[in-house]
Structure 1
Amino acid sequence: MLFHFRHQFPQLNAYWDKYLPFQQRLEIPPKTTLLEEGKRSQHYIYIEKGLIRAFFNKNGEDITMQFFFENEGLSSFDSFINNTPSPITIETIEPSVVYLLAKEHVNQLLEDLSHEQDFVQMILRMTVQRQTHYINEFVSFIRDTPEQRYQNLVKERPHIIQRVPQHFIASYLGVSKVHLSRIKAKLAKGKSHF
């Protein structure tokens, strides 16, 4: 939401420094739950190192919605802003270093930022960028086949293919691990003909 846009908005660096004492730095192993589905989100999470996924449970099966990497931030935003139960679980995949900023300090940070000259434009750009990403994901899930979605990952976000375990990628694509193996074998076979 905020600090992972520091490279685009250098003026955020001063706020990072100011709010660093209020951030809880955690070095945590894989499979650490940072927010559980059904609980209320009370922290903004910034990833210094590692890999995190957001997922929900459907009839006992985890459905992965999104992956987050270094220098990205996240929360269950509806839950965070509206104080409602989170529809997702947030969990580490790799050993990770994260910073947690409590809701009260996020609100104070936003109040501080509101005095910045380009605050509204900055928030709009952040929101549009995130919204565009999610809309593209949603459209792709409806329009594209799992094979096309996998090819898009390979082409546009190869870091996911390189770092995320296969069963999470399968869940993210909405297919079984066996189906994902078939997709990969078919694509590898197609390449070998050239």
Structure 2
Amino acid sequence: MIFHFREQFPQLNVYWEKYLPHMQRMEVPAKTALLKEGQVSQNYILIETGCVRAYFDKDGVDKTVQFFFENSGLSSFDSFVNELPSLFTIETIEPSVVYLLSRTHVLELMDELSHEPSFVQIILGISAARHKRYNDELVSFIRDTPEERYLRLLTQRPHIVKRVQQHYIASYLGVSSVHLSRIKSKLARGREHF
């Protein structure tokens, strides 16, 4: 939130400066759980560097829901807002630098920002863009084959394919690593014929 907001909305910098001292900076290795499934989310997570995934456990198998990269923020939203057990684990998948801002300070910040005339439009725009992406992914998961989902990932979010390990991508696409390898081989063979 704060990092990309500072760049996109410099008129709000006075607020970011005020809350930076309340943020806990953490340098963490890969596979560090920032929130565990079943815990109540107490912090908003801001990613300075690195990659984070949200996933849940289904009968001992990880099901990746989403990936997050530099200059983005996340929480288990329902858990964070309504103080309910999180449905997801949030975990780093590469060495990362993250900042945690407590729920108390986030609520104070939101209250202060709500008095800024442009803030509601900013939040609505960001929420709409994220909601559209999640809806597109949901529809794709229902409508498209795994191969079509992988091609969509390659064209629309190639940074994921470049940075994220194959078994996490397979989990995100809802296939096994073996199945993803077959899809990649088939696509490679198809390119050879052109």
Q: After TM superposition, give the deviation of residue 13 of structure 1 in Å.
A: 2.6
Provide TM-score, normalisation by structure 1: 0.97
Residues 74-101 of structure 1: CA deviation (Å, up to 9, x unaligned):
0000000000000000000000000000
Q: After TM superposition, give the deviation of residue 5 of structure 1 in Å.
A: 3.6
What residue is the counterpart of 1:124 in the other structure?
124
What residue is the counterpart of 1:4 in the other structure?
4
Q: Which runs of 5+ in 1 are unaligned?
A: none
Counting only pairs closer than 5 Å after superposition, residues 58-137 of structure 1 correspond to structure 2 as 58-137=58-137
Distance 1:7 1:71 in 2: 10
One-letter amino acid of the counterpart of residue 176, structure 2: S
Greater mean deviation of Cα atoms: 117-126 or 98-107: 117-126
Q: Secondary structure at the match of 1:7?
A: helix
Q: Which runs of 5+ in 2 are unaligned?
A: none
Residues 13-70 of structure 1: CA deviation (Å, up to 9, x unaligned):
3222111100000000000000000000000000000000000000110000000000
**Are residue 48 (structure 1) and residue 43 (structure 2) matched?**
no
Distance 1:2 1:142 in 2: 34
Assess, with a 3 A threshold, how the Cα gap between structure 1 residues 3 and 111 changes in structure 2: closer, same or farther. farther
Q: After TM superposition, give the deviation of residue 3 of structure 1 in Å.
A: 4.7
Q: After TM superposition, give the deviation of residue 6 of structure 1 in Å.
A: 3.4
Distance 1:86 1:38 in 2: 5
Greater mean deviation of Cα atoms: 12-21 or 26-35: 12-21
Distance 1:122 1:68 in 2: 20
**Are residue 29 (structure 1) and residue 29 (structure 2) matched?**
yes
Q: Secondary structure at the match of 2:10?
A: coil
Q: Secondary structure at the match of 1:87?
A: coil
State the percentage of identical aligned residues. 65
Distance 2:145 2:137 in 1: 13
Residues 96-151 of structure 1: CA deviation (Å, up to 9, x unaligned):
00000000000000011011111221221121111111111101100111001101
**Are residue 146 (structure 1) and residue 149 (structure 2) matched?**
no
Distance 1:142 1:5 in 2: 33
What residue is the counterpart of 1:189 in the other structure?
189
Q: Secondary structure at the match of 1:90?
A: strand
